[in-house]
Chain A
């Protein structure tokens, strides 16, 4: 693919145009135009209530926009159901760790691998047919450092490890683009470093858009940052530029953030 920038039109994997979400007169997201470059780590930041999560839910189709379009790889996905969007390779994560708690780590990853290989309405077949996914599932678990947890039910895993499992599950779908909703939320320092390193590593292959509160993580990871306030785009650029931007400082300090 043209990472060198020869095909500029192809360069944006995800674009929004006039994206708006109104809740009974209140505009949670207003007229947002977002362009995510293929292969980049793009962060969406902003003070509390800026509309980051609403924006995120619009992109993942878990909310319907009041106005505006979303285009993924040039295709209009504004009206597409969330499961179909996932099938196009645009896969989301959740703010609270989204694992299947009573399934083992291996089974968690396998459910994703199973989906990638077609529908599974075959209730008359033994699930041993799923064993063919085991090697790939172990590989994915190994990739995120979870080999030892393969047969542990997810509910019994430590929090940071659940996030890693969630990423392994998402990777199992072999997505083109990942949307991460506060991947570091609720984690200790040690876990943050591990997950940050993991995200950095997988970003070589995937485009990543993430909503994140932890600014040092954002500073270290992202190529480009969009700042939202009151549902609108305030500024966009790299961390060095934005950290000098008076409007951004004001938005953050005004809302009590450091």
Chain B
């Protein structure tokens, strides 16, 4: 039981009907974005980060595992997809597939190493592994170091959808996000998810019931890493580049920030958190370096005032699960 998840979690019994209504509302709102005049590039970027934060939340909010290295999945999948698209001229669907597969493999390896330790040691190992990868990517020729992989061709998804058209790209990213979100939702509400939650709640007790908890944590870690990688692969089409920013430790920190601001262990919290943080970066860009300070203030006030995060507090207030 990690101290971070102790009293930050919603206690409300789950009500799937409420959650499905909110999900439908979210899907509809996101679907009409292109007709509202909101900058679609911003929303696409936010969707990628929202999926990333949801994947991270699967691990900490439902498995009690705080990873400080989730940027490695985002960055690795991004680099692999970008390289496959640009150098090997893979079609988009294959590019996404190899990027996501690379993240899955990375999840298997790093997960196998890190879940052997608990609490802060687990977090530190994930941080160390992601730093190791950062320096590897800084030196490896295929990533082009500081320059990153630029000008990635977007191509035609399945030979039909022209991803260079913003509207088409928007709906492809949206479908990708919703699919990833639903997979996470299903995982949380599966027999596997129940075991995962019991491990988060009280690991020694789960062991005493006969669960080999390391195996469950490893599967959760791989799932989370794979979905974070999927978000990274999608992001390549939006940003049309893959750079060191995505594997930097500060990105891992941002993922934690998004999830905490939105609400740890809530279904929709990470989505809200990601939109808040990305919107801040987008619309406060005029303040330059001050964005970091503003982010810091928000983070501190979130931890002090809304320990459950925005969605967590709302859910607590309404006595609903969100």
Considering only residues 175-201 of chain B, those with a C-beta below 8 Å from chain A are: 183, 186-187, 189-195, 197-198, 201
Contact call A115/B189, Cβ cutoff below 8 A: no
Contact call A127/B190, Cβ cutoff below 8 A: yes
Contact call A91/B208, Cβ cutoff below 8 A: yes
B209 at the interface (CB under 8 A from A): yes
Q: Which residues of B sit under 8 angstroms from A125, Cβ to Cβ?
A: 190-191
- Given known contacts A110-B194, A125-B191, A99 and B209 CB-to-CB distance under 8 angstroms: no
What 0/1 readout, one digit per residue, does chain A (30-48) give for beta carbons within 8 Å of chain B?
Answer: 0000000000000000000
A197 at the interface (CB under 8 A from B): no
A75 at the interface (CB under 8 A from B): no
Closest to B216 in A: A121
B204 at the interface (CB under 8 A from A): yes
Docked CA distance A91–B204 (Å): 12
A124 CB → nearest B CB, Å: 6
- Given known contacts A122-B190, A125-B191, A127-B191, A83 and B211 CB-to-CB distance under 8 angstroms: yes
B219 CB → nearest A CB, Å: 6
- State which size class the interface on B falls in: 20 to 34
B212 at the interface (CB under 8 A from A): yes
Q: Which residues of A sit under 8 angstroms from B280, Cβ to Cβ?
A: none
Q: Which of B192, B208, B213 contacts A121 (CB 8 A)?
A: B192
Q: Which residues of A sit under 8 angstroms from B205, Cβ to Cβ?
A: 94, 98-100
Q: Which residues of A sit under 8 angstroms from B189, Cβ to Cβ?
A: 126-127
Q: Which residues of B sit under 8 angstroms from A102, Cβ to Cβ?
A: 9-11, 197, 201
**Secondary structure of the B contact surface, majority rule:** helix
Docked CA distance A60–B210 (Å): 11
Q: Which residues of A sit under 8 angstroms from B293, Cβ to Cβ?
A: none
Q: Which residues of B sit under 8 angstroms from A115, Cβ to Cβ?
A: 195, 209-211
Contact call A123/B186, Cβ cutoff below 8 A: yes
A99 CB → nearest B CB, Å: 7
Contact call A103/B192, Cβ cutoff below 8 A: no
Docked CA distance A151–B15 (Å): 12
B223 at the interface (CB under 8 A from A): yes
Contact call A62/B204, Cβ cutoff below 8 A: yes
B245 at the interface (CB under 8 A from A): no
What 0/1 readout, one digit per residue, does chain A (108-141) give for beta carbons within 8 Å of chain B?
Answer: 0011101110001111111101100000000000
Q: Which of A130, A151, A173 contacts B210 (CB 8 A)?
A: A173
Considering only residues 53-87 of chain A, those with a C-beta below 8 Å from chain B are: 60, 62, 81-84, 86-87
Most chain A beta-carbon neighbours within 10 Å: one of B183, B198, B202, B208:
B208
Considering only residues 254-297 of chain B, those with a C-beta below 8 Å from chain A are: none
Q: Which of A98, A124, A151 contacts B208 (CB 8 A)?
A: A98
A153 at the interface (CB under 8 A from B): yes
B183 CB → nearest A CB, Å: 8
Contact call B191/A155, Cβ cutoff below 8 A: no
Contact call A122/B191, Cβ cutoff below 8 A: yes
Q: Which of A83, A93, A98, A155 contacts B212 (CB 8 A)?
A: A83
Contact call A60/B197, Cβ cutoff below 8 A: no
What 0/1 readout, one digit per residue, does chain A (143-179) give for beta carbons within 8 Å of chain B?
Answer: 0000000010101100000000000010001000000
5 closest Cβ contacts across the A-B interface? Answer: A86-B210, A100-B201, A123-B192, A98-B205, A120-B191
By a beta-carbon cutoff of 8 Å, the part of chain A in contact with chain B is: 60, 62, 81-84, 86-87, 91-94, 98-104, 107, 110-112, 114-116, 120-127, 129-130, 151, 153, 155-156, 169, 173
Subset of 9 A-B contacts with CB under 8 Å: A82-B208, A83-B212, A98-B208, A111-B198, A115-B195, A122-B192, A124-B183, A125-B191, A173-B210
Q: A84-B210, A115-B210 are known contacts; what are 6 more A-B pairs with Cβ within 8 Å?
A: A62-B204, A83-B213, A111-B195, A121-B216, A123-B190, A153-B13
